[in-house]
Amino acid sequence: MAVLLIRLPYLIGSEPLIYETNWLLIGEALNSGKDLYKDLVSPIAPLAGWIYMVIEFIFGKSILVLHILSLLLVTYQFSLFNNIMLRNKAYNENSYIPALIYALMMFTFYDFFTFSPALISLTFILLVLDNIYLRIENKLQDATILKTGIYMGLAVLFYLPSIFFLIATLLSFALLTSLVLRRYLLFIYGFSFPIIGTLIYFYWKDGLTSLYSQWINFNIFHSIDPILDFQSIFIIAIFPTIIFVFALYKTFSASRFTNYQVRVQQVMFIMFLAACGSWWFSEQQAPFELLVFIPSFSFFIIHFVFQIKRRIRAEIFSIGFSIIIISITYTIFYQNSPICSYGDFNKLKKQESIYEKVINGKSTMILGGQTSNYAGAEKIATRYYHPQLSQVLLEEMTEKERLIALFDDIQKNEPEVILDFTGFFQKNHQELNFTKVSYQQKSTNFYVRNTNKDKIK
């Protein structure tokens, strides 16, 4: 209830973020009969695309639903985190402080409040973490090892940068436990099971090559400009990072922990390194992708709280920490403080477009620009949805191949409106001798389908 009350101002007064609009547009396109990757160019992870398809099918393009689902999932996560820490005796005290700190860390920035692929993936990473602790205590059975691999595979299928936590899990098993080869193979088999199932599905749909080029190759070998600059990210992360670094020092310099607790701390530090890799590897380096740091940050900050000898000081720290975290978040959200001038946080919000009225209710093709421009369109009438990825795919083609690809795409989808921010359509307009439709140029970037659909002679 407390989490709901604190989030209530955001639930009531928030504007759509550009990636929230993007996720629901992908869901809408998939519900219209398009196949992910094959008919819709996007670097989104397959399970993430399908979960947004289900959400859009049931609730429509409701941003509020994303916030409510996030609230439910975060509630489960901090309850799970608290249970993991208590059951595995990670601390010298038993209390609800782990749940409190974890929940507070979820208020670090307001885009943590949405139902993102990183948030979904983090749930499976927590389940993996629980099983690593069980392995340290030699309580892990073969079936649980298999499930651990499956959890890790699902985490990657929701959010590809989670692959670094696979490496962290293997390192934790190798350095801190005595896992035999058979159990390593079980873990790898469990990890491979959902991955192979997904690959088989896309092979059946004749989209395996597209899955590789768009989801794996693009995310690994290409990068796009970060959605926020380093200064903005610094403002968001500076306070919890300072507390984390200090807590890390206090934890590793203390000497009153059991051998098991020291191993647990080492696992969490490895998870912190995995989070660094995941952030570096992330597609947009958006604030919500910092979510992967929350388990490790929370773990060590909790240790710091428990090391404060006087209870009253611990309570003062917890209250002060809560107030500062929540205040920074809502100060940035409402932009009512000088701190907001050091970051351009409006980039996260869907901006009004001068083409919004002419696009509204029409099937639309946009070359370049932002995906959020499709928000008012009747449907996405093109395969080339994601601008940066589409540009990469088109640039890999020869000029003739690009011409054929664009011709086939327009012939198949017959968009009513074309917005071309790349200049490609304008350059090749005369050569694109369409047989089903024709287009009239209204401005430099703007084309409208002619009402006369007779074949062009």
Average pLDDT over residues 200-222: 92
Confidence of residue 1 (pLDDT cuts 50, 70, 90): low
For residue range 47-60, list pLDDT tens digits in order: 999 999 999 999 99
Average pLDDT over residues 411-417: 88
- At residue 144, does pLDDT exceed 70? yes
For residue range 424-445, list pLDDT tens digits in order: 777 776 676 666 677 787 877 8
Average pLDDT over residues 48-76: 95
Average pLDDT over residues 250-265: 86
- At residue 127, does pLDDT exceed 60? yes
**What is the residue extent of each domain of the chain?**
2-342, 356-449
pLDDT for position 457 = 37
Of 192 and 11, the structure prediction assigns the larger pLDDT to 192
What SS3 string covers the chain?
Answer: CHHHHHHHHHHHHCCCEHHHHHHHHHHHHHHCCCCECCCECCCCCHHHHHHHHHHHHHHCCCHHHHHHHHHHHHHHHHHHHHHHHHHCCCCCCCCCHHHHHHHHHCCCCHHHHCCCHHHHHHHHHHHHHHHHHHHHCCCCCHHHHHHHHHHHHHHHHHCHHHHHHHHHHHHHHHHHCCCCHHHHHHHHHHHHHHHHHHHHHHHHCCCHHHHHHHHHHHHHHCCCCCCCCHHHHHHHHHHHHHHHHHHHHHHHHCCCCCHHHHHHHHHHHHHHHHHHHHHHHCCCCCHHHHHHHHHHHHHHHHHHHHHCCCHHHHHHHHHHHHHHHHHHHHHHHHCCCHHHHHCCHHHHECCCCCCHHHHCCCEEEEECCCHHHHCCCCEECCCCCCHHHHHHHHHCCCHHHHHHHHHHHHHHHCCCEEEECCCHHHHHCCCCCCCCCCEEECCCCEEEECCCCCCCC
pLDDT for position 9 = 83
pLDDT for position 455 = 42
Among 381-385, 417-421, 444-448, the range scoring the smallest mean pLDDT is 444-448
For residue range 77-120, list pLDDT tens digits in order: 999 999 999 888 888 888 888 999 999 999 999 999 999 999 99
